[in-house]
Chains A and B, each alone.
Chain A
């Protein structure tokens, strides 16, 4: 039973998070910041996710290339 739960957890992790957890963490942080800016500060930060992509994708690629 414990093995099945662990296997299911590993499947979900691999399905959603994938090879680099920085990507998922960065996306979650970026969307949370966009939400807070929109609702708490009333700033329409549509540019935040594109800026995040410009930083996050090269960073993730660099980590992958460095790992080999």
Chain B
């Protein structure tokens, strides 16, 4: 796998997660208290650093064959779940991921809770909201960087791509002080679903002991084949009427 392809794949996948984390932190800071939201953000980043420091060497130490089987299986499961949601959204069977709507719903929910001080944190609700959001989305960033980087034996490059994605998205969020609603998140999720499924297919099968015809260049066939298959499924599902009329409403409850 080329360095450019690895960087691009990790960057896009991590950027999607960073957009969601940014929305949650902005909602916590705006509706509650910026000091508490920033404390939650820093606490989550600290915990993520510890998790990364613990998992990084462990991933590097695993035999490549076992690593590829394990990581391939996880990437396939993750990728298929992403792709499934993306196809349902693109075909009108699931509400589009709307950062504006999610942000408004979270701000509204956060405003209804009474403030409660805990130690140095002025508002426990704002702290917890930011902490949980950053930790959950951050775990996916760590997972993507470690698995892609570990498999390609380029963990530093994958980590750099992940950090760049988070910094770019966070800087945009800070500059705008608003959810990044103009990021084509649904399209990006479709692309990430295709990439995760393709790399999961490739590494999973290699880890299980088979050799792909054409070796690494098989990915040049697998990625477009999965993309075409997914787009065909979108076209077919568009002809199927949704089970209920309420599905076109924005997805305000779903953060993932």
Contacts and interface: CB of A to CB of B under 8 A. Distances in A.
B88 A61 contact: yes
A57 B83 contact: yes
Contact of B77 (A16, A58, A61, A68): A16
A57 B84 contact: yes
Given A46-B210, A46-B212, A60-B84, A27 B243 contact: no
Interface stretch (B149-157, B171-179, B225-233): B225-233
B210 A57 contact: no
Interface string A28-68: 10011011001100001110111001101110110011111
B72 interface: yes
Given A35-B209, A49-B204, A20 B76 contact: no
Q: How large is the interface on A (under 10, 10 to 19, 20 to 34, 35 or more residues)?
A: 20 to 34
Interface residues of B, number: 42
B197 A53 contact: yes
Nearest to B213: A46
Given A18-B77, A46-B212, A23 B84 contact: yes
B81 A20 contact: yes
Interface string B60-92: 000000000100111011101101110110000
B80 A49 contact: no
Interface string B203-221: 0110111111100001000
B5 interface: no
Contact of A31 (B73, B94, B197): B73
A37 to B, nearest CB: 8
Contacts of B233: 57-58, 61
Given A50-B222, A61-B84, A39 B209 contact: yes
B229 A27 contact: no
Interface string A1-32: 00000000000000111111001100110011
Nearest to B240: A65
Given A23-B84, A49-B205, A57 B73 contact: no
A47 B94 CA distance: 31
Contacts of B112: none
A18 B81 contact: yes
B201 A34 contact: no
B80 A23 contact: yes
A31 B77 CA distance: 11
A31 B69 contact: yes
6 contacts: A31-B73, A31-B204, A50-B222, A53-B80, A61-B88, A68-B247
Interface of A: 15-20, 23-24, 27-28, 31-32, 34-35, 38-39, 44-46, 48-50, 53-54, 56-58, 60-61, 64-68
Q: Which 5 A-B pairs have the closest CB atoms?
A: A68-B243, A38-B209, A34-B208, A18-B81, A35-B208
Interface of B: 69, 72-74, 76-78, 80-81, 83-85, 87-88, 93-94, 139, 197, 200-201, 204-205, 207-213, 218, 222, 225-226, 229-230, 233, 237, 240, 242-244, 247
